Amino acid sequence: MQIPKFPECNHAIVSSLEHYSDPELLLLFQRHPDAGKYFLAIFCRYSPIVYSLIHHSIKSPAQADYLFAVTWRHIYYELGGLDLRGQNPSEGENPTLQSWLIQVTALCINRVELPPVESIQYSLREASPPLWCFVEQALEQLHPAQRLIVLLSQTFHWSETRIAAYLQAEGQIVTPAEVRRQIEESQKLLESALPADVAAVYLDRSIDSPMDGTGDMADLPLSPTP
């Protein structure tokens, strides 16, 4: 088994946080919810352990990659309220972020119902788990109609004409040109909804530069779940 190397782990924004301890990273993550770099640092530090545990337990590589993404998605949403002091460790042991991550990984291995291999569309090569988390959050800020149009276009690769026909069948009178306009507008909104440091890591943007909607988001695989 070869543990994948995630490019974001070599980014200067992430590598600059290597000197922080686990408790410090957790505290920074919780105190700065608008920043993504602290979760990226945690992911880069512990993704090899989580990946190894999952791939030793799941025979199918596709299902293992899917579970790896789902596990980190669960970790992301749990970290915000995590208090290691209240984890009731075994006698003689101190709770650590690593032990908590291993516990969460074990729970996901045992409890997550894995879909059939043929139905899994998630690809670890196309998007690492942190990217899914941030894109999912950005998608949630779109209007439902905009979110549907973007997903049909970028996840299922429907043409503007097909999307317009589908919406018309649902009672919405829109033209392919209007669909295209909404796609472009939604991409700009998605870009602006991403944390600035996440955009810098994944879209190669300067943290201080405004989101200009130049189409980078069109290259990201968008889906509400992995």
Q: What is the pLDDT of residues 49-105, one digit of tens each?
A: 999 999 999 999 999 999 999 999 999 999 999 998 765 555 456 689 999 999 999
Write down the pLDDT at residue 179: 94
Q: Is residue 76 part of a domain?
A: yes
The CA distance from 176 to 73, in Å, is 34
Q: Which of 66, 93, 119 is at the close of a domain?
A: 119
Q: Which of 119, 151, 184 is at the close of a domain?
A: 119
The CA distance from 166 to 152, in Å, is 10
Whether 66 and 156 share a structural domain: no
Q: Is residue 40 part of a domain?
A: yes
pLDDT of residue 163 exceeding 50: yes
Q: Is residue 206 part of a domain?
A: yes
pLDDT of residue 215 exceeding 50: no
Higher per-residue pLDDT: 30 or 145? 30
Write down the pLDDT at residue 127: 85
Whether 98 and 136 share a structural domain: no
Q: Is residue 225 part of a domain?
A: no
Write down the pLDDT at residue 149: 92
**128, two tokens:** 């690492």
pLDDT of residue 210 exceeding 70: no
Q: Is residue 28 part of a domain?
A: yes
pLDDT of residue 162 exceeding 70: yes
pLDDT of residue 125 exceeding 50: yes
Across the chain, mean pLDDT equals 88
- Across 175-193, average pLDDT: 92
Q: Is residue 22 part of a domain?
A: yes
Whether 71 and 24 share a structural domain: yes
- Across 191-206, average pLDDT: 89
CATH number of the domain within which 81 lies: 1.10.1740
Q: Supply the pTM of this predicted model.
A: 0.85
Q: Which of 87, 119, 151 is at the close of a domain?
A: 119
Least confident segment among 54-58, 65-69, 171-175, 206-210 = 206-210
The CA distance from 97 to 104, in Å, is 10
Whether 164 and 184 share a structural domain: yes
**How many CB atoms neighbour CB 173 within 10 A?**
8
Phi-psi region of 203 (alpha: psi -120 to 50; beta: other; left: phi over 0): alpha
Write down the pLDDT at residue 110: 96
Q: What domain count does the chain have?
A: 2
Range of the domain at 38: 7-119
Q: What percent of the chain has pLDDT over 90?
A: 68
The CA distance from 149 to 220, in Å, is 15
